[in-house]
Amino acid sequence: MKLLQDIHEGLDPPPNCDEIIVSSGYEYYHYNCDGVDDRGWGCGYRTLQTVCSWISSKAVSQPAPSLHQIQEILVAIGDKEKGFIGSKEWIGSVEVGLVIDKLYDIPCKILHVSNGYQLNSHIQEIRNHFLSNQSILMMGGESDTSSKGIVGLATSSLTSDSYLLVLDPHYYELSTLDDNEQTTTKSTLQRDGWIQWRNINSFHLNTFYNICLPQTKVLNMT
């Protein structure tokens, strides 16, 4: 299946925002996009693939790894046991960082947010990441277990509101490896909320979050 790129394009910005930072140059990986039906367990892998596609578009020619390759890497570096290969075990922000480091020699910082109430206090750190590293983030939580790609940040000095541009990998579309096109469109994905601006206060308040911040400034991108 041919993957859609930069599915945020054309999406209306949140209201009253005077600073908007967005990472472009990614491919949208989601459930079953390569013919592997990973519903219920593959969201972290798909977000990792999206981040890898962004890295590949900027400075590294190595393509995003397959689900099987991701599992092989985690076993090879000693993070998982051999039985992990071929399983349906989830991965989170820590594993995402390990794979990016192994594949691209890019270290990753894990930002631990103790609960949703504290997300707003980390907005400046997220802003600094987008300004210095530019890359997409991976966000995972405890009770909010759904993996998310964070593609951008918007802030309003008028209302003091902050918004994250959230890319949801849980979209599912029937496909075969021979398909050349997706039947969906960017506008449909936007309408249905697979990419959306979310107010920082809309996240789960009583769960911790781990956010993987790839330190892509080591690539000396221009």
Which residues have a catalytic role annotated?
A: 43, 168, 170
- Cα–Cα distance between 22 and 44 in angstroms, integer? 21
The type of residue at 151 is V
User: For the chain, first and last CA: distance in Å?
Assistant: 31
CA angle, 103 as apex, 97 and 104 as ends, to 5°? 85
CA distances from 43 to 40, 121, 161, 186, 222 (A): 8, 26, 28, 19, 31
- 187 Cβ neighbours under 8 A, 6+ residues apart: 10
- Give the angle subtended at the CA of 78 by the CAs of 73 and 82, to the nearest 5°: 75
